[in-house]
Amino acid sequence: MEIKTPKLASSRENCMKQDFSITGEKGIKNTSTPLNSTLSREWFGEWFDSPYYHILYKNRNFEEASAFVNKLAKHLQLNSSHSILDLACGKGRHAIHLNQMGLDVIGIDLSSENIKAANAFSNPRLKFFQHDMRQAFRTEYFDYILNMFTSFGYFEKEEENQKAISVAAEGLKKEGKLIIDFLNPDFVRDQMIEKEKKVIEGITFHITKEIDLDNFILKTIKFNDRGQNFRFQEKVKAISQDKFISYFEKAGLKLEALFGDYQLGPFNPNSSERMIFIAKKP
Ligand SMILES: C[S@@+](CC[C@H](N)C(=O)[O-])C[C@H]1O[C@@H](n2cnc3c(N)ncnc32)[C@H](O)[C@@H]1O
C-alpha cells in the first residue's frame, strides 16, 4: 500500500498572530520574573500549543514517527482489527500513520491547536479530541494505547502521574497493552548539554538545561522573533524505570518489555537514550 506523507509542519506565518509569551504579554521585557508567579496555566498547556514548539522540534517529523510505528507494528503484530489510542498525540504524526496502515485510531491531546491541526486528517477511522490524560476517557475500549516521545512526566504531583496511567489502564481491553516512550533519566543526566544555541527557520533558540532539587529536568528556551522576546520552560520529571513499574502495578498492568531505542534494541541504563515500556493488562 502506498502511504502518503502528510505535511504536518506548522506555518511560521501564524506565529505572530497569537500571544505565546510566558507572561501573557507580547514579548518579555523582564525575564527574571519568577515563572510560577506569572503562569496563567500549566507550562505544558502553553508551550505545546505554541507554533515555536513545532519549529524547535521540526526534526521530530512524520517520517521519524512512521519509522518507529512500523517497528512497533511488527513487534506488536498490529492488524486492522485493532483499535488504538494515541495518548497526547500532538498533531497526530503517529496516529495518522497507524490509520494509513488500516487501523482504527483515536488521538487525544490537551492542546487545542494540535487537535485543530490533526483534525485536518480525520476520517471515519481516525478521530481526534482535545482531552486531558488525567481525566477518564473510554473504558475497556482500546487494544493498544501509545504515549509517544516523552508525553509524560509533566505533572507536579505523583498522584497525577498515577492517575494518568490508571486512566490509560482503564481504557485498555483485557490483554491490551500500554506503550510509553519516555527519556532515560540517567542518560539525560550523564549527557546533559547545559547551554546550547540552535538556529531554525531564522530563529536563534538559546537553550539551557538543569535538573532541579525535585528531580525535574528543566529546559529553558529563549528567543526573539520579529522583535519580540519569548521564554518558555519545559519541565519533565526524571521518572525512573522502577517508578514507572510501580505506576503500572498500581494500575493493574504488568511490565512485558522494556526497549532502549526506536529500533527496539535492548535497554541499557547507562547508554540507552529512551525507555520504551510495554505494559500489559492481564
Ligand atoms: C512532546 S509532545 C509529543 C506529541 C506527540 N506524541 C508526538 O510525538 O508528536 C507532548 C504532547 O503532550 C500533550 N500533553 C501535555 N499534557 C497533556 C495532558 N495533560 N493531556 C493530554 N495531552 C497532554 C501536549 O499538548 C503535546 O502535544
Instruction: Say how far apart CA 224 and CA 222 lie, in whole Å.
Output: 7
Q: Please classify residue 114 by burial: count the beta carbons closer than 10 Å to its beta carbon, then call 0-12 exposed, 13-18 middle and 19+ buried.
A: buried
Pocket test for ligand 1, best of 43, 44, 145 (most atoms within 8 A of CB): 44
Instruction: Give residue 228's identity as a one-letter amino acid code.
Output: Q
Give 113-150 as a DSSP string: HHHHHHGGG-BTTEEEEE--TTS---SS-EEEEEE-SS
Give 158-222 as a DSSP string: HHHHHHHHHHHHHHEEEEEEEEEEEE-HHHHHHH--SEEEEEETTEEEEEEEEE-TTSEEEEEEE
Pocket test for ligand 1, best of 110, 128, 157, 219 (most atoms within 8 A of CB): 110
Domain ranges of the chain: 27-38+59-186+237-280
Ligand 1 within 6 A of 134 CB?
yes
Q: Which three cell numbers mark 240?
A: 525512573
> Nearest C-alpha to atom 2 of ligand 1 is from which residue?
151
Ligand 1 within 6 A of 48 CB?
yes
How far out from the chain centre does Cα 105 lie? Answer: 17
The domain defined by 27-38+59-186+237-280 carries CATH number 3.30.2310.20 = no
The pLDDT value given to residue 30: 29
Which pTM does this prediction carry? 0.88
Q: How confident is the model at residue 6 (pLDDT cuts 50, 70, 90)?
A: low
DSSP label at residue 265: P
Ligand 1: distance of its center to the CA of 147 in Å?
8
> Nearest C-alpha to atom 19 of ligand 1 is from which residue?
132
Ligand 1 within 6 A of 147 CB?
no
DSSP label at residue 266: B
Q: Which three cell numbers mark 234?
A: 519545559
Q: Is 107 helix (H, G, I), strand (E, B) or coil?
A: strand
- pLDDT, greater one: 250 or 58: 250
The pLDDT value given to residue 20: 42
* pLDDT tens digits, 246-278: 999 999 999 999 999 999 999 999 999 999 999
Please report where in the chains the cell 485493532 appears, as a residue: 82
For the chain, helix (H) and strand (E) counts, in that order, are: 9, 11
Q: Which helix (H) or strand (E) holds 278?
A: strand 274-280
Ligand 1 within 6 A of 114 CB?
yes
Cβ contact 137:108 at 8 Å? yes
The pLDDT value given to residue 59: 86
* Closest-CA residue to 277 (of 157, 84, 144, 102): 144
